Structure 1
Amino acid sequence: MDVLDRLKDKPGALLPVLHGVQNALGHVPEDAVPLIAHEMNLSRADVHGVISFYHFFRTTPPGRRTVFLCRAESCQAMGAAQLERHVKQRLGVDFHQTTADGAFSLEPVYCLGNCACSPAMLVDDELHGRVTPERFDAWLETQAARTEDAS
Structure 2
Amino acid sequence: MEGALTVFKAFDAEDAAGIIAELKHLEGPLLPILNAFQARYGFVGEDAVRLVSAALNLSRAEVYGVVSFYHDYHQAPRGRHVLKVCRAEACQARGSDAVAEAVEKALGVSFGETTPDGQVTLEAVYCLGLCASGPSAMIDHGRLVARLTPARAEALVEEVML
Query: TM-score with structure 2 length normalisation?
Result: 0.78
Relative contact order, higher structure (CA 8 A, sep 6+): 2
> Is 1:62 the equivalent of 2:78?
yes
Contact 2:81–2:160 at 8 Å: present in 1 too? Answer: no
Query: TM-score with structure 1 length normalisation?
Result: 0.84
94 and 19 in structure 1: CA distance in 2 versus 1, 3 angstrom threshold: farther
For residues 45-88 of structure 1, the C-alpha deviation after alignment (integer angstroms, 9 at most, x for no partner) is 11112222222221221111110112333222222233223322
Contact 1:97–1:105 at 8 Å: present in 2 too? Answer: yes
> Is 1:141 the equivalent of 2:158?
yes
Say which is worse superposed, 10-19 or 124-133, in terms of deviation: 10-19
Map of 2:146 onto structure 1: 129
Contact 2:107–2:157 at 8 Å: present in 1 too? Answer: no
> Is 1:71 the equivalent of 2:87?
yes
Map 1:73-88 → 2, pairs under 5 A: 73-88=89-104
Task: Give the number of aligned pairs.
Answer: 145
Which amino acid in structure 2 is aligned with residue 32 of structure 1? Answer: A
5 and 79 in structure 1: CA distance in 2 versus 1, 3 angstrom threshold: farther
Deviation at 1:19, TM superposition (A): 1.8
Say which is worse superposed, 79-88 or 37-46, in terms of deviation: 79-88
Map of 2:128 onto structure 1: 112
Say which is worse superposed, 9-18 or 114-123, in terms of deviation: 9-18
Corresponding residue SS for 1:98: coil
Deviation at 1:128, TM superposition (A): 0.2
Whole-angstrom distance in 2 between the partners of 1:39 and 1:94? 36
What RMSD in Å do the two structures reach over aligned CA positions? Answer: 1.9
Map of 1:14 onto structure 2: 30
For residues 88-141 of structure 1, the C-alpha deviation after alignment (integer angstroms, 9 at most, x for no partner) is 232122333210011101122232122221111000231100112111112223
Say which is worse superposed, 42-51 or 106-115, in terms of deviation: 106-115
